[in-house]
Amino acid sequence: MGDWISSKPIYIFCPQCGRKAWIVENHQHHHENSGVDSVDIEGVFVIEEFVNVEEEQQLVQMIDTRKPWVTSQEGRAKQDYGPKISFLKRKVSVGDFGGFPDFAANLFERMQDTQSQLVKDFIPVEFCLLEYTPERGSYIRPHYDDKWIWGDRLITVNLLSETALRLTREFKIPPYEIVIRMPPRSLIVIQGEARYDWHHSISRYDIKSRRIAMTWREFSEEIIKDEDYRDFVNEYMEQFRNPLIQLLLASVVISVFMHQFDDAISITLAIVIVVTVAFVQEYRSEKSLKELNKLVPPTCKAIRDGCHREFLAKYLVPGDIVIISMGDRVPADLRLVDCQDLTIDESNLTGETEPSTKSVFSKRAPELINGNKTNVNNNVGEDLHLKLEPTISDYVNLAFMGTLVQSGHAKGIVIGTGDSTQFGTVFRMMQAEEAPRSPLQLNMDELGKHLSVYSLCIIGLIVIIGWLQSRPVLEMFTIGVSLAVAAIPEGLPIVVTVTLALGVMRMAKRKAVVKQLHAVETLGCIHVVCSDKTGTLTRNEMTVTQLSTSEFYGAHVTGIGYEESGEVNLMDLKSDQTAQLQSVRRLLQAASLCNNARFDSTGNLIGQATEGAMLVAARKAGLSDPREEYNRIEEIPFSSRYKFMAVKCASNQHNYDFDKPTFYVKGAIEVILAKCSYYSNLGSHENLNESRKQDIISQSEQIESQGLRVLGLACGASLDNLTYLGFIGIYDAPRPGVKDAISILQEGGIQVKMVTGDSKITAQSIAKMIGILEPGGSVMSGQDIDELMENRQLNETTKAEIISQVNVFYRVTPQHKVTIVKLLQSIGNVTAMTGDGVNDSVALKKANIGIAMGTTGTDVCKEAADVILMDDNLATIVVALEEGKGIYYNIGNFIRFQLSTSIAALSLIALATIMHVPNPLNAMQILYINILMDGPPAQSLGVEEVDQEVLKQPPRDVKQPVLTRELLVSVLVSAIFIVCGTLIVFISEMSDGVVTPRDTTMTFTCFVLFDLFNAMSCRSQRKSIFAIGFFSNKAFLYAVGGSLVGQLLVIYCKPFQVIFQTEALSLLDMVFLICISSTVFFASEAMKLFKSRLFKRKLLLSASMYLV
């Protein structure tokens, strides 16, 4: 070695004791403490202080590694992308790149020297792709290979951060692990083959320093950062671009020119109030919609300080090691360092429907380079150049933020978060696009357009008639514009959006997260709910309660949930207790090995509940985790199609023959038995004949009849020639309240069907407990569904009708779920489907309402769903349906209120004009009425509590418009009472033919009181206010009370009297106005009484039809 390296401390870590040791000749080492024998090791070396700080800063600034290099090892067929040291040296030499300093060439000369003298096959390994963190204010930026980071081998050194790495040597006998700490400014050199188990990530200090050093432009805490700063002034001024507001401003200018300053000031104040109300409404709408995005904050699993942790993805920093698995959404841009059968759906970035297969190597490199493609290894060391610009699909060893993992699992280093990700680039472009509006919002837009056209025609007619009657032009113009502002329901879509968003927020507080507003419209139309069993109808708190070994030794397991306070009690007290216990432990050992669950330091389960229950049962039997004594070589993940999981393991405690590993398999009992040729009999292998198989199935069915889920276990050298070990019975009790929830759904005319992968007996047992399966009910298996679909003698309608009569579907796959949904939809049923797995996503997308599980559901499943149940409880579906029906019902209530007020105001002015009498209301009074119509009273109707009678209504027709004939009749009746009553007051007060302030005050106050009484009656379309309760909606009380106080101020406060041209009224006047305006309320109550009796008759008939 050169002098430079001999002066540096070089350490290795002993594979036997884990302590630091000194390097000596011939790759031998001595421990730091004396008296320990030397041990042979094929080298893992850490060279500290490989570069100094000055060299490091220049290196980060000047070295350009974004060029392709090719490396190859002797005997390795695959092509690697990465720097060959000698080739890299030529590339960075002063002669080739005149701008590089001498130290850069010397640096790589040292590395080449290290390669030749220290190890044979030097493979530089990039541990952290972003290690350099400049101080705040420094002009040096982190070295970020955003384009060529996808190379297999990226040459770098560990810079300012201290990191750690655990290596597993699989090809040593016995295999061992080495944990290496990499000090700042160090180089790691690895000799021989090694698998890098990226077990340890950056430290707490590094996380903090990176957060401080990285500017918000590089990496944001938020996934995609929203603009914190908003120009409220400009947004407020945007409201003045409304053409109607601009017309009012024009009338102000005209009033000033005509020296009518009182009118000008009054109209200006009215404009400010109207614009402010509109701005506040729009702001609330935007804020509510943004809050929806925060209801399900994305989490991630990462390794920090050597510990597996789960936290919000927004707290990731570059250098974190993230673990992703099937169903996860990738939380940041990752450079993959370890992956197993990983495929990722990148369609949201690339548009390609086929998932991308990932690898730690750039397998597509030969497609992108010039040269001899048939034997790329011949070109090693030659100067190769990229032929094509790579696309996202070419980055096979990168995982991009926002994409979805379809299969497999992997570890990756975070190389980009927030705005610096590929998704961040797409999101910035997406922000310019407006979000699509829901059908209900489009319906409201269309309704608003029609009403606007009708209103403008009537207003135009009023202005023309007034002009023909020689009324003042300015007065008619101002009245016309004010009517347009009041009558045209431009705020209707905004109020609808606010009501929907607030309703969705209320649902979220009750554990039902609605992702899209349009889903609310469909919730009240659902005819059928197809629910999964595990975790939705049951607690998902699995407990192993019984087990049976291959020798038919049985055992009861005490304790509940994941508490270890329990024991395994053998049932056969006459047989050899030791043999029984060994057989039970052999069964539980296999269950622990074929297992991916674990418990963290706080005792929380990380993984599937079923697997967690098996680990707890093994602990109760006195077993330590056998996975610490075995190396897992291969894994076949559980598939709902094949219904089993398998792992291939080998002991690491002995000189185990790696050519003969052992499979450990668990799955459905019938699937496991089909793969078994033998059964274990006190450690020996006996032939498993059909008679014994039938005995095992009979015993398992007896366990299943108690509501237990049965899983069989086996082991062997081949998956087709296994040895049966026994089965485990797992109990998952029904959730409390789920039976009542099902009863409520059924009372509302909604069918509930169980769709599960469990056996027939288990499914029937649970379904009977919770009221889904009544005596005489029908059940159907997934195989029966296949046979039904293959039956060509039946048409699709007949098949759909058969499916609709089934209460329980068992042993079904995700494809069967899709079939069930399609058939139910084909006969007009609006269907909701629950799911939690990746393969359920297709059925959730196909269903009218896809419902994902928030706790056990995968990110893929949540992405496909419309509603997420945060507690995985079917009773929460009832909450969603309640709120969905209630929100839609309340929207009808305030539409009734707004339209009746709008029509009344238009009709009042139109009739007065036609009758050739003075206008009953002036411009300021009309604008005040507009504030009432669009303001608090209207919005408070949207938060009315759900009427329980509404919940019992049969599902609503999904095509039914909001403005039904019944609602339109109510609107017209209310408008007629308001117009007639107000005109009577106006004409009676104007008996002398001259309009005085008292006349307009009486008319104006009468209209406002009519409006408030009308709002009170609009709280329910069928139920009397006396049944609802006057004080049940506090928001409504505050809104009406505030409006009444405002009206009293307008009447009795001098400044407002000037603005609104009013005068004080006597107590008798107010009593008279209350009496006449309350007629609209009593008329509405009488109509409700009539409709309620009629509705109850129809309800009984409709519900019985849906339940048949």
- The residues that are catalytic are 532
Per-residue b or e along 341-359, where b marks 16 or more CB atoms closer than 10 Å to that residue's CB:
ebbbbbeebeeeeebbebe
Whose tokens are 């497999």? That residue is 408
Asked if 303 and 410 count as a contact pair (C-beta separation under 8 A), the reply is no
β-partners of residue 176 are 169
Spatial separation of the C-alpha atoms in residues 23 and 423, rounded to whole Å: 47
DSSP bridge partners of 304: 307
**247: buried, middle or exposed (CB in 10 Å: 19+, 13-18, 0-12)?**
middle
Peptide bond into 174 cis (omega under 30): yes
- The CA distance from 553 to 461, in Å, is 93
**Alpha-carbon gap, residue 130 to 133, rounded angstroms:** 8
Residues 612, 562: contact at Cβ < 8 Å? Answer: yes
Q: Which amino acid is at 1102?
A: S
Strands 806-810 and 751-755: parallel
Check residue 402 and give left, alpha or beta (phi > 0: left; psi -120 to 50: alpha).
left
Amino acid at 511: K
Rg (CA), the chain: 37
Helix (H, G, I), strand (E, B) or coil at 433: coil
Indicate left, alpha or beta for 362 from its phi (over 0: left) and psi (-120 to 50: alpha): beta
Amino acid at 1104: S
**How far apart are the C-alpha atoms of 707 and 694, rounded to whole Å?**
20
Q: Which of 954, 854, 937, 848 is nearest to 897 (CA)?
A: 937
Helices 796-804 and 782-790 meet at what angle, rounded to 10? 160
Residue 708 and residue 762: Cα distance in Å, rounded? 6
Q: How many CB atoms lie within 10 A of CB 457?
A: 10
Of 453, 563, 440, which is closest to residue 884 (Cα–Cα)?
440
Which of the 8 DSSP states describes residue 134? P
Closest CA to 676 of 664, 666, 688: 688
Its sign, for the CA torsion 1096, 1098, 1101, 1102, is negative
What does the alpha-carbon distance between residue 640 and residue 755 come to, in Å, rounded to a whole number? 13
Pairing of strands 831-835, 528-531: parallel
Instruction: Count CB-CB contacts under 10 A for residue 604.
Output: 11
Question: Strand 163-169 relative to strand 195-197: parallel, antiparallel, unpaired?
Answer: antiparallel
Residue for token pair 């380079």? 369
Give me 129's structure tokens.
Answer: 């792709």
- Cβ atoms of residues 815 and 509 within 8 Å: no
3-state secondary structure 749-815: CCEEEEECCCCHHHHHHHHHHHCCCCCCCEEEEHHHHHHHHHCCCCCHHHHHHHHHCEEEEECCCHH
User: By the 8 A CB rule, do 407 and 98 touch?
Assistant: no
Closest among 493, 418, 410, 419 to 452, alpha carbons compared: 493
User: 10 Å Cβ neighbour count for 655?
Assistant: 8
**C-alpha–C-alpha distance, residues 1102 and 1100, integer Å:** 6
Measured between its terminal Cα atoms, the distance across the chain in Å is 88
The C-alpha angle 978, 982, 988, rounded to 5 degrees, equals 150
